[in-house]
Structure 1
């Protein structure tokens, strides 16, 4: 059964008790009594399977109001992980964004049986493209446009790499869009499904985009990396795809890894192997249609 198969009342009731959500290789037990979070989960995770409540979960997470006066006056919420709060409270209308950030943190902080990069991953024609991105580089905008154009999303934020064979594990969750990117993607595809807007967060305005059914349906299919592309959006810039030296690409990828240093020698060897099997590129763009055409040529 998928989350979307539940009616609104049943969805809220199940989430109040705790609901097991299967997301790629991870199982989350998600609990909340907040209607806004339940509604966003139903909207954005409707295609995701609900796991059996028996057995083990990887992460137990909860978002609920704080206790005391802040429950009512300038209301705030907390993210809970295994019974403790790793973050400061946020205002109540940031609750779903907080859950998304917390779910990312669970993987980045604990899933060290994988090499974890802060990068998007998409697949087309059996070839995966990894997109590391600095803030403001246009990574998520490009990721959303590619996904809505038929590419399979493996992840918007976390590249998960198997330590044994270097394959990429899908973790197709909602795409986090910020500020002007929200309107750009709304205009790009009127069929795109968005959650509610969280305004004035520490990242500005944030809104999440529902992953495509294709991406969720193929969540059990691993991918093989073929390209690493470092995107950079600049107003008025021409679309250019230029080779990046592999030594420089290695250093940049290593700085985008959550656990490169923690894995030690294994982190170095896995990153080096990834660079060896990929073509590495710098990609400048300003217009999405031209960018998409160039990416199609890359995996033709």
Structure 2
């Protein structure tokens, strides 16, 4: 499905990023595979946040607001058992084993009724996450140039949109809070996220 959207939708700016929303403010987490986006998305989605996507941000070119997708969060390998321990009542599919990405299961973080109430929201922060076993939460503010570079590298259709993508990326980094987060404890990172959407 990601390929279908990324290969054919040129009316939106598409980023490889988790989109987490609270208080009508979106935090984008652009990152490469293995950075913990989906685990973080599931954890927050079962803890009072709205998960607009765990891996693709769909940004309206004109309003620059990010739109919701109605999809479960894809958990892989150790994250599956961790999520079952953290949220025993969560609805999780049976595990598909030995796929190209290892063991895979999907967790429901949004009902259809909830999804129907969601609307596009502005981007308030960019957080580039990096999971590191045993690490205390470490936060670094990034400058706009570094954030712009990372944002463009995580875009699916940057080359296709050209100048439009350049301008949109520049606008986003000029008005959003920009951070890099190294973490192992999701509760610590969740507290920081709460602070960002309360500001």
Which TM-score tier does this pair reach, normalised by the shorter chain? over 0.9
Per-residue deviation, residues 46-86 of structure 1 (Å, max 9, x unmatched): xxxxxxxxxxxxxxxxxxxxxxxxxxxxxxxxxxxxxxxxx
Please state how far the C-alpha of 1:212 moved relative to its aligned partner.
2.2
Given that 2:16 and 2:32 are in contact with CA atoms closer than 8 Å, whether structure 1 keeps it comes out as: no
Structure 2 residue ranges without an equivalent (≥5): none
Distance 1:133 1:207 in 2: 20
Distance 2:167 2:157 in 1: 13
In structure 2, do the counterparts of structure 1 residues 110 and 182 end up closer, same or farther at CA, with 3 Å as the change threshold?
Answer: same
Please state how far the C-alpha of 1:163 moved relative to its aligned partner.
1.2
Residue 244 in structure 1 maps to residue 142 in structure 2: yes
Please state how far the C-alpha of 1:218 moved relative to its aligned partner.
2.6
Partner of 2:184: 286
The partner residue of 1:173 within 56, 71, 80 is: 71
Distance 2:11 2:77 in 1: 34
Given that 1:154 and 1:215 are in contact with CA atoms closer than 8 Å, whether structure 2 keeps it comes out as: no
Residue 218 in structure 1 maps to residue 153 in structure 2: no
Distance 1:108 1:131 in 2: 18
Please state how far the C-alpha of 1:261 moved relative to its aligned partner.
0.6
Given that 2:91 and 2:108 are in contact with CA atoms closer than 8 Å, whether structure 1 keeps it comes out as: yes
Given that 2:26 and 2:122 are in contact with CA atoms closer than 8 Å, whether structure 1 keeps it comes out as: yes
Per-residue deviation, residues 69-114 of structure 1 (Å, max 9, x unmatched): xxxxxxxxxxxxxxxxxxxxxxxxxxxxxxxxxx222111111110
Larger Rg over CA atoms: 1
SS at 2:32 equivalent: coil
Partner of 1:91: none
Partner of 1:267: 165
SS at 1:193 equivalent: coil
Residue 201 in structure 1 maps to residue 99 in structure 2: yes
SS at 2:97 equivalent: strand
Distance 1:263 1:157 in 2: 20
Partner of 1:135: 33
The root-mean-square deviation of aligned C-alpha atoms, in Å, is: 1.3
Distance 2:18 2:70 in 1: 10
Residue 124 in structure 1 maps to residue 22 in structure 2: yes
SS at 1:108 equivalent: helix
**TM-score (structure 1 length as normaliser):** 0.63
- Count of matched residue pairs: 197
Please state how far the C-alpha of 1:195 moved relative to its aligned partner.
1.5
Larger relative contact order (C-alpha < 8 A, sep ≥ 6)?
2
Distance 1:171 1:212 in 2: 10
SS at 1:237 equivalent: coil
Please state how far the C-alpha of 1:256 moved relative to its aligned partner.
0.6
**TM-score (structure 2 length as normaliser):** 0.94
Residue 299 in structure 1 maps to residue 197 in structure 2: yes
Given that 1:194 and 1:208 are in contact with CA atoms closer than 8 Å, whether structure 2 keeps it comes out as: yes
Given that 1:166 and 1:270 are in contact with CA atoms closer than 8 Å, whether structure 2 keeps it comes out as: yes
Given that 2:19 and 2:27 are in contact with CA atoms closer than 8 Å, whether structure 1 keeps it comes out as: yes
